[in-house]
Amino acid sequence: MSLRSNDLRGRKALITGASRGIGRAIAESLASAGAEVVCTSTREGGCDATLEAIRAAGGSAKALAADVADPNALKELARAAAEGGAPNILVNNAGITRDGTFLRMGAEEFDTVISVNLRAAFLLAQALVRPMLKVDAPRMIFVGSVVGLTGNAGQANYAASKAGLLGLARSLAKEFGSRGLTANVVAPGFIETDMTAGLSDDVREAARTKIPLGRLGTPEDIADMVCFLAGDSGAYVTGQALVVDGGMTL
């Protein structure tokens, strides 16, 4: 018996929020496994560096711009991404934080985070699910967070949005599993990206000491799990939260 490969040649992947950080690493990894990737970010030219890196490594990529908080822009994004064939792999990665203590958190901060992190994932999955059911090995992968499983003081909006992604993925897994579609959440711990770059050295060091593997995560740590799920290796995994946190939440 041999291990199943992660060869993604002939497959197409759409990754939201691929201009930098985790999304960029996912786009580069899927492209290096042979997928034709479509990268998105909020503005034209935002994914130029990602495209350059992918093309320099011999991969195939194009970019689309859309603010995923805008339902009309999302609809157009789904249409443009499915041109020439629906994606086999949808990675809902775009995400934001608007942290604040619970009693001071306004409804606007709550809604903003929900609309980017959760509503956009729902709308994009809904726009693409029918065409994706017609292609080989359809995979929906949602980038959640460990705080969606544990909660976090100061992040009620963000934690709720990430917990919501798990409910969304599990519902998709049950509703479309019989048609071959898998839906999972990858839940990162503390990863070194722009999102965490603003945290003080003290906060980073405090986080590091709670991580059994003794280091913060890298975007590539997350991309490897996404590649596993996207390939034949992930064929029998659905409705799960795959935690990639160096043991931080143990």
Region near ligand NAP per CB under 6 A, out of 12-20, 131-139, 206-214, 223-231 = 12-20
- To ligand NAP, the closest distance from the beta carbon of 166 in angstroms equals 13
- What tokens appear for 53 in the block? 């890196």
For the chain, the straight-line distance linking the first and the last C-alpha, in angstroms and rounded, comes to: 33
The answer for residues whose C-beta is within 8 angstroms of residue 193's C-beta and 6 or more apart is 20, 21, 22, 219
User: What CA–CA distance (Å, rounded) separates 200 from 111?
Assistant: 27
If the CB atoms of residues 22 and 137 are measured against ligand NAP, the closer one turns out to be 22
Interface pattern 26-55 for ligand NAP (x via CB under 6 A): ---------------xxx--x---------
Q: How far apart are CA 80 and CA 76, in angstroms?
A: 6
Which window, 16-24, 82-90, 126-134, 207-215, contacts ligand NAP (CB under 6 A)?
A: 16-24
Nearest to 78 by CA among 130, 23, 118: 130
Is residue 158 flagged as an active site residue? yes
Residues 52-91 that bind ligand NAP (CB under 6 A): 67-69
CB 191 within 8 A of CB 22: yes
Binding mask 84-123 for ligand NAP (x = CB under 6 A): ---------xxxx-------------------x-------
| Dihedral (CA of 178, 85, 117, 97) sign | positive
Q: Which residues bind ligand NAP (CB under 6 A)?
A: 16-23, 41-43, 46, 67-69, 93-96, 116, 143, 145, 188, 190-191, 193-196
